[in-house]
Amino acid sequence: MVTTVTLAPERVVRPQLNLDLQPTVAEFFAGIGLVRMGLERAGFRCVWANDFDPQKKEMYRTHFKGSGNHYFSGDVADVDIAKMPRKISLAWASFPCIDVSLAGWRRGLNGKHTGTFWHFIRVMNDLKRQHRLPAVVALENVSGLATSHGGKDLVDAIMALNEIGYSVDVLALDARHFVPQSRPRLFLVGALSKPIETQEDDLVLRPARLQAVFDNPSLVTHKAALPRLPPPLTAGLADVVDPLPAHDERWWDAKRTTAFLESLSPVQKKRLEQLMASKRLAHRTAYRRTRDGKPMWEMRADEIAGCLRTARGGSSKQALVQVNGNEINVRWMTEREYARLMGARDYNLDGLRRNQALFGFGDAVCVDVVEWLARHYLRPLVEAAESNR
């Protein structure tokens, strides 16, 4: 005789996460919180955040429910360290890019917007005087920072961190290594204690245009040993596209689509004809440009998106072109598509206005890039520093 014994289901006891053991981060210029998402994936805990834009704050608080208490809504110039947490492992600052962007005013670190960098430096100096300086700082900006004022602005930024006590690494990271979007950005990583340095040059992470800062004897720099980046994507746009039905009102009508097609240059039209001849469903992104004073549309040749921008007008928004044989449909990209291209597929978009969402994502940092940097560089750097204290 076989006796069957039914056991009571085992109670699974999940270990409680000890928040005291997690490295903490203070995020300056936090925007809509994509940096926080990337850092949290790598095990950081955000204990303080700051931004002055009320629409970005609304998005931040919508996504991170109950996170309003640690969010200082105001100008970085008004940050009072007495109201910041005592222990901060990492300070992150994605300071405004408009004055160093190649598409901006090129006023540099002394410009009205990008010059807020110096307010961040002031806060770091205040923390230093109270012996509360984070072991690591990370700064993010557009690639134009490397060439702004002939490279002087990048040197000044590194020197400012040096004077506080940080050795600085400079990295170039493009989001297309992780998501189908071309989004090159510059990252400065400051460490109070130098990490183990690489013995070979990785010209993807530290391309030739950055080598001058490492060769500058007046700067304290280092090159941390890091893993190779995944190869850059050349396709994948189809994976982020919302499959909207043909009757969806977001598709442009025949008149607007015809105007789009007529604005294409001969090179662009040839590109479109090749897609039509392939007889397969294909997607491309397009921007409106001004050439010789005339507005024109230009499509990318590859299956990735161009760099998302802050949506303030038609020329800054990105359109999606869907080609299926002789059928051509065009529309603006959706909020969810922007979120996916920024590595934030699960971002809460409830109740947000369209332009609010597009602006927020266009002015943010790709989540996957932050996660890679935090997992392979920032987290080990913080842990090594804090274990030696």
Confidence of residue 12 (pLDDT cuts 50, 70, 90): very low
pLDDT in tens, 311-365: 554 457 899 999 999 999 999 999 999 999 999 999 999 999 999 999 999 999 9
Confidence of residue 99 (pLDDT cuts 50, 70, 90): low
Whether residues 303 and 219 fall in one domain: no
Q: Does residue 163 form part of some domain?
A: yes
Whether residues 212 and 262 fall in one domain: no
Mean pLDDT, the chain, rounded, equals: 89
Whether residues 327 and 374 fall in one domain: no
pLDDT value, residue 199: 81
pLDDT at 102 over 80: no
Q: Does residue 367 form part of some domain?
A: yes
Among 271, 359, 346, which residue's Cα sits nearest to residue 316? 359
Whether residues 49 and 84 fall in one domain: yes
Q: Does residue 8 form part of some domain?
A: no
pLDDT value, residue 10: 37
Q: Does residue 112 form part of some domain?
A: yes
pLDDT value, residue 291: 79
Q: Does residue 345 form part of some domain?
A: no
pLDDT value, residue 311: 58
Whether residues 298 and 372 fall in one domain: no
Whether residues 89 and 212 fall in one domain: yes
Confidence of residue 5 (pLDDT cuts 50, 70, 90): very low
Order of all β-strands in the sheet with 319-324 = 294-299, 281-291, 319-324, 327-332
Gap between the Cα atoms of 193 and 224, Å rounded = 11
Q: Does residue 2 form part of some domain?
A: no
CATH number, domain with residue 164: 3.40.50.150
> What is the count of structural domains for the chain?
2
Whether residues 186 and 47 fall in one domain: yes
Whether residues 118 and 185 fall in one domain: yes
For residue 126, what are its two tokens? 């205040």
Gap between the Cα atoms of 14 and 293, Å rounded = 63
pLDDT in tens, 257-282: 999 999 999 999 999 999 999 999 99
Q: Does the CA dihedral 237-265-310-244 come out positive or negative?
A: negative
Q: Does residue 185 form part of some domain?
A: yes
Strand partners, 284: 321
Whether residues 366 and 276 fall in one domain: no
Reported as type and span, the H/E element at residue 127 is helix 117-129
Whether residues 57 and 202 fall in one domain: yes
What is the extent of the structural domain holding 149? Answer: 21-232+361-387
Confidence of residue 22 (pLDDT cuts 50, 70, 90): very high
- Dihedral, CA of residue 122, residue 127, residue 129 and residue 130, to nearest 10: 150
Whether residues 61 and 141 fall in one domain: yes
Strands (E), the chain: 24-28, 45-51, 71-73, 90-93, 136-142, 167-174, 184-191, 281-291, 294-299, 319-324, 327-332
Q: Does residue 14 form part of some domain?
A: no
pLDDT in tens, 187-225: 999 999 999 898 888 999 999 999 999 999 999 999 999
Residues 6+ apart with CB under 8 A from 149: 106, 108, 109
Q: Is the pTM of this model over 0.95?
A: no
pLDDT in tens, 54-93: 999 999 999 998 665 688 988 999 999 999 999 999 999 9
User: Among the listed ranges 106-115, 248-257, 306-315, 317-326, which one has the minimum average pLDDT value?
Assistant: 106-115
Between 255 and 1, the higher pLDDT residue? 255
Whether residues 218 and 88 fall in one domain: yes
